[in-house]
Structure 1
Amino acid sequence: MLAAAKARAAELKAKMAGSKTLTAPSQQTSSSTPSTSSLTSDKIAAMRARVAAATSRANAQRPSSAATYTPPVHNDDMSKARGGLDIGLHPSLLADTQPDKGRTPQTKFATVMGNRRADSLATQKKAQLDLSGPSMEEIKSNPYFDANIGSAVAKSRASRPLIFNEKGKYIQQAAALRRQAQLEAMKKRIAERARLAGLEEDLDTDKAFIVPAPPEIEWWDEGLVNGSSYAAISDKANLKIDTPDSIITVYIQHPVLIEPPQEKLAPAPKPMFLTSKEQAKLRRQRRQADLKEQQAKVRLGLEPPPPPKVKKGNLMMVLGQEAVKDPTAVEARVNREIAERKQKHEDTNEGRKLTKEERAEKLARQRADDLARGIHVRAYKINSLANVKHRFQIFKNAEDRELTGVCITHPKFNLLVVEGGEYDIRHYDHLLQKRIRWTEMEAPRSVAEGNREALTKWLEAEDEDGNLKDLSLNRCECIFSGEEKERTFRKVLRHPRACETDAQARDVLGPRMEGFWNVAKGWKTDDF
C-alpha cells in the first residue's frame, strides 16, 4: 500500500510539472514580479506536501481508485488560505481545518466519483422524513374530504390511569355463570318431564317444514303442452298455442259481473212508525172501504145481503114480535149465531197460521238471508265444563240454531268456537254471557247404563275424593268476535272433542283456526 501511495504521488507530481510547462509562457508575458512567482511555488509545494500526507493516511483505510484528476472549482464560500493569492483550499484539505472528534475518517479522492459520493452522502444526511400530517387547508381543498367522517389529523392519545380489578370480581362472575348453568339444566329437566307426561307442545312441528315435490307439470299448463311433463316443450310441435285444439281462442270472455257485497248488507227500509190514533184511523178507513165494496156487490146482486148481526143486547130491537112470541127459541137462536160467529173467527185465525213445515221453511229462509249478509265467528274460553248441565245448554242451543263449530276440552281450559248468522250468534252470545250460571255445580243425574257417555277425567263432576268440584272461579270469556267469508266447520256443534295435548287441539282446529288456541292459552283474565 505504501508503494502504491508513492506511485500515486509521483504521478501527481508529473501532472503538476506538465501543467507548469504549459502555463510558463503566459507567466512570462504577464507583468507579475519575481516575488509573486516565488510565493506561488512555495504555496504549491505546501499543497503537495499536504496531499501526500492525506493520501498516505487514507490508504490505511481502503485502496484508492484509479480515476483522473479534476482541478477544483473555485468557490467563494470555501475557507481561505492564510495569505497568498486568495485561493480557496482544496476540497480534500477541508477536513483538516475541522476537528475530527466524533467523526469517522473518510477517504478523500481528487476524482469525479469521489466528489459525487461525498455530495450524495451530504445530501442524505440533510434530507429528513417529514412526519407531520397535512394541514387543514390541504385537507379541505381535497375534493374527497368528508367532514362527517372526521378529520384525518391524528388526535393525541390521552394517558389513562391504571385500573385494578376489585377483590371478588371474577368470583362473582363465576357464581353467576354457575347459576345460569343450573337454571338451564332445570329447564331441560322440566321439558323432559313434560315430554314424558305427554304435555309438550308442537310435537308435530316437522309437518310444517315438509315441502311437497313440484309436479311434473302444473295444472294450468296441461292444456298448453302435449305431454305429461315440461320436457315435451323442447319440441315446438308439442306446444298447443296455435293448434285447433288449443285452449287459446280468438274469442274474448267477459266474466259475469258480481254484485257488490255492500248491497247485500244494506238493511231493509223500516216502515213508518204510527201512533195509536193513526193506527185506529187507518183501520177505520180500511174497514169502511171494505164495507162500501160489499154494499156495491149486494146492489148489483152479486152477493146475498148479509143476515142481521143479532146479539143479546139488540135482540128486542132486531127481532121485535118474534122475540115477544117465543123468547126461549129466540134466545137459543141468538146463542147459536154467536157461537157460529166465534167459530168462524177462530177458523179464520187458524187458517192464517203457518204449519210446522211452513214454519221450518220460513226459519230456514230467514237464516239463509242472515248468512248471506255475513258469517259471524265467536271464540270463548271456558275454565271448566265439569257440570253436565252447562254442556247440555251449549250443545242443545247450538244444534237448535244450526251453529257450526267445535268445542275442545283440555285439562287446563276449554275452547268453544261457533259460526253462524248475526241473529243466531247474538242470541247464543247472550246465552253464554248472561243466562248460564257458570259457578253453579250440580250432581250428575242417574242415567241408564247404555246412555252413559265416556267422560274424560277433567269432565267428571267429582274429584278424586268423591266430592263435587268447586266452580266458584269458573267463567266464560269471549276472546274473539269477528266475521269471515265462508264457514270453516261443516258440522253442527253437538259433542265436545277431548284433546290431551296442544298439538292435538291445533289439529282439530285446522290451519285457519289454530291461532285461537294460542290466543286462549295466553289470555289473561282482568279481575276488577
Structure 2
Amino acid sequence: MPEKRPYPGPQGGSSDSKRPRSDDPIAAAKAAAAAKAAEIRARIEASRNKSNGATPAPAAPSFAPVPPVMPVTKAKKPAPKDEDERANPYFDPRLVNTARARASRGLLFNERGKYLEQGSKLRAQKRLEQIKKMLAQQARRAGLDENSERGFLVQPPPDVEWWDEALLAEKTYDCLDNPAKVNIDSEDSVISIYIQHPPFLKAPQDQRLIETKPMYLTPKELAKKRRMRRAEELKEHQAKIRLGLEPPPPPKVKRGNMMRVMGEQAIADPTAVEMLVESQIAERQETHEKANEERKLTKEERLAKLETNQQKDAQKGLYMCVFRINTLAYGKHRYQIDQNSKQLALTGITLFNPNMNLVIVEGGIHSINKYKKLMLHRIKWEENAQPTEIQAEKQKADPQWMKSVDAAGNMKDLSYNKCALVFEGEVKQRAFRKWGSKMCETDGEAKNLLLRNKLDSLWALAKNVE
C-alpha cells in the first residue's frame, strides 16, 4: 500500500480535517457556494461601512482558500440561496442594504424667555396702536383736521383716465406723440373692428310699482251705483222668499209706524207693543255693531296692512330729506324725531353735535311728506321743560350740551332754536339700512361717519344754511 501524501498546511498531517478530493463533484459545488457566500457577505459589510462613514474593510479575494469539508447535514443551507441567485437574472447584490441609515435626531429645547419676549413685543405693539388711535382722536377734537369746505372742493383730474390706461404704455398723456407708446393698432390692443353692444338696462322709473287706479265717480254717481246695487240685492232676496228658500223677515216696526203696523194690538195693549218695538230696535242695533266688529281688523292685521302699504310706497320711489336743527337739548324733541321715523318706516340717522344737529331720513313719498310736516310745522322747537327724575338719571352721563338745563340747574333758553330743510330730492337706493343716532363731539367725527355712506358733503352744506 503506497504511503499517503501529507496535508500542505502549517500543522502537516496532525489536522483531523481532510482535503476533499478533486474528483468529488458534490464537494466542489459546496466549496464554490461557500466562497460565493463569503464574497457576498464581504460586499454587504463594505457597503454598510461606507454608508456609516467608516473606512470599508478590504474585500475578500475571490480565490479564498477552500474551507475544510463539513458534514453533509450542516452544508445544505447555502445551496438553495446560491441556486436562487443564479436562477434570478435581475438580482443585483450591489443594491442590498444601500439605503443610508437614519440618524437619530436630538431633542431641541426652546431657550429660556423666548415666549415671554414674544408676548412683550405683542403687548408693546398693541399699546402703540392705542396711542396712535388716541392721538388721532385728540387731533380731531382739537379741530386740526377740520375743513368745512372740503365737501365743495373739486378733486383734480387724474394723470390718465381709467379707460385710457390700457392704450398707453406710460401713466401720462405726454406719450401721445410717440406712436410706439400708444397701443391702438397692435394685435393685443383692446380696440378692434368688432362692436360691443352694452346690455339693455331698465330705467329706474320703469322698476317702480305702478298701480292702476279705477275711474273716479262723482258723489251723485256713487249714490246711484249704491242704490242700484241694493235694489238688485233686494230683488234677489224677495225671489228666494217666494220660492221658500228663505223665511220671510218679521215686520220692521219702528216708533213712527208702530200704530199702523200693529193695528188693533197696539190699541189694546200699547205698553206691550212699545216694549216689543224697543226690543226690536235694540236687537237691530246690536246686530249692526256686531257686524262692524267682525269687519274690524285686529291689531296685528292693522300693523301688517300698514307695513304693506309702506313697502308699496317705498317701491314707487325713494326720497331723502336732510334737516338742520340748532340744538336737541330737549329730550321730547329727540323722542318725537326717533318715534315718528320708526312709525313711518324711514331709515336714516340723527347726528348730535354741540354746534348743530343733522337729521337724515329716506323712504317713500307718503312717509317723507308726513315727516316734513312734523319737522317743519308740528314740533315746537322753542319749548323746553325741566327733566323728570327718570330722565335726569338717564341723561346723567350725557355732556352738558345735550341737557335741557345748564350746570346751575336753570332751564336753557331755546327761543333761537329752529329747524331748516337743507336738502330734498329723489335717490336711487337707500344709504342706511335702519334708523339710528350718533353723538359726534366734533365736526371731523361727523364727517368721517357720513363719509362711509358718501354723504359727507351734506355736513358742509348744512353748515352754510342759516
1:361/1:197 Cα in 2 relative to 1: closer, same or farther (>3 Å)? closer
1:320/1:457 Cα in 2 relative to 1: closer, same or farther (>3 Å)? same
State whether residues 140 and 445 of structure 2, in contact with CA within 8 Å, keep that contact through their aligned partners in structure 1.
no
State whether residues 204 and 428 of structure 2, in contact with CA within 8 Å, keep that contact through their aligned partners in structure 1.
no
Q: Give the TM-score of the pair, scaled to structure 2.
A: 0.55
CA distance in 2 between counterparts of 1:452 and 1:459 reads 8
Aligned match of 2:445? 504
Aligned match of 1:515? 457
Aligned match of 1:288? 231
CA distance in 2 between counterparts of 1:439 and 1:314 reads 62
RMSD: 2.8
**Please, which of 228, 253, 276 is the counterpart of residue 310 of structure 1?**
253
**Please, which of 201, 206, 218 is the counterpart of residue 274 of structure 1?**
218
SS in 1 for 2:250: coil
1:378/1:448 Cα in 2 relative to 1: closer, same or farther (>3 Å)? closer
1:492/1:369 Cα in 2 relative to 1: closer, same or farther (>3 Å)? same
CA distance in 2 between counterparts of 1:448 and 1:517 reads 30
**Please, which of 294, 311, 329 is the counterpart of residue 386 of structure 1?**
329
**Please, which of 276, 280, 291 is the counterpart of residue 333 of structure 1?**
276
Matched to 1:200, the amino acid is L
Q: Where do 1:476-515 residues align within 5 Å?
A: 476-493=419-436, 496-509=437-450, 510-515=452-457
1:434 aligns with 2:377: yes
1:440/1:344 Cα in 2 relative to 1: closer, same or farther (>3 Å)? same
1:474 aligns with 2:417: yes
Q: Where do 1:32-181 residues align within 5 Å?
A: none
CA distance in 1 between counterparts of 2:372 and 2:140 reads 39
1:466/1:448 Cα in 2 relative to 1: closer, same or farther (>3 Å)? closer
CA distance in 2 between counterparts of 1:298 and 1:426 reads 54
Give, in angstroms, the shift of residue 468 of structure 1.
Answer: 2.5
1:389/1:450 Cα in 2 relative to 1: closer, same or farther (>3 Å)? closer
State whether residues 422 and 462 of structure 2, in contact with CA within 8 Å, keep that contact through their aligned partners in structure 1.
yes
Q: Where do 1:305-384 residues align within 5 Å?
A: 305-384=248-327
CA distance in 1 between counterparts of 2:288 and 2:200 reads 52
CA distance in 1 between counterparts of 2:204 and 2:404 reads 51
CA distance in 2 between counterparts of 1:441 and 1:449 reads 14
Give, in angstroms, the shift of residue 330 of structure 1.
Answer: 2.0
State whether residues 462 and 468 of structure 1, in contact with CA within 8 Å, keep that contact through their aligned partners in structure 2.
yes
1:424 aligns with 2:424: no
Matched to 2:245, the amino acid is L
1:257/1:350 Cα in 2 relative to 1: closer, same or farther (>3 Å)? farther
SS in 1 for 2:389: coil
State whether residues 141 and 444 of structure 2, in contact with CA within 8 Å, keep that contact through their aligned partners in structure 1.
no
CA distance in 2 between counterparts of 1:366 and 1:478 reads 26
Which sits farther off after the overlay, 366-375 or 468-477?
A: 468-477
Give, in angstroms, the shift of residue 422 of structure 1.
Answer: 0.9
Matched to 1:273, the amino acid is L
CA distance in 2 between counterparts of 1:504 and 1:364 reads 34
Unaligned runs of at least 5 residues, structure 2: 1-137, 156-198
Aligned match of 1:402? 345
State whether residues 346 and 363 of structure 2, in contact with CA within 8 Å, keep that contact through their aligned partners in structure 1.
yes
CA distance in 2 between counterparts of 1:196 and 1:397 reads 33
Q: Give the TM-score of the pair, scaled to structure 1.
A: 0.49
Aligned match of 2:23? none
Q: Which has the larger radius of gyration?
A: 1
Give, in angstroms, the shift of residue 309 of structure 1.
Answer: 0.6
1:200 aligns with 2:141: no
Q: Deviations over 1:230-271 (max 9, x none)?
A: xxxxxxxxxxxxxxxxxxxxxxxxx99968733635464354
1:338/1:256 Cα in 2 relative to 1: closer, same or farther (>3 Å)? farther
Report the count of equivalent residues. Answer: 279
**Please, which of 196, 206, 211 is the counterpart of residue 262 of structure 1?**
206
CA distance in 2 between counterparts of 1:260 and 1:419 reads 17
Name the structure, 1 or 2, with higher relative contact order (CA <8 Å, separation 6+).
2
Give, in angstroms, the shift of residue 359 of structure 1.
Answer: 0.7
Matched to 2:315, the amino acid is A
Unaligned runs of at least 5 residues, structure 1: 1-193, 209-254
Q: Deviations over 1:345-382 (max 9, x none)?
A: 11111122111111111101100100111111111111
SS in 1 for 2:237: helix
CA distance in 2 between counterparts of 1:465 and 1:436 reads 27
Matched to 1:501, the amino acid is T
Matched to 1:492, the amino acid is W
Aligned match of 2:400? 457
Give, in angstroms, the shift of residue 312 of structure 1.
Answer: 2.0
CA distance in 1 between counterparts of 2:140 and 2:319 reads 40
Matched to 2:439, the amino acid is A
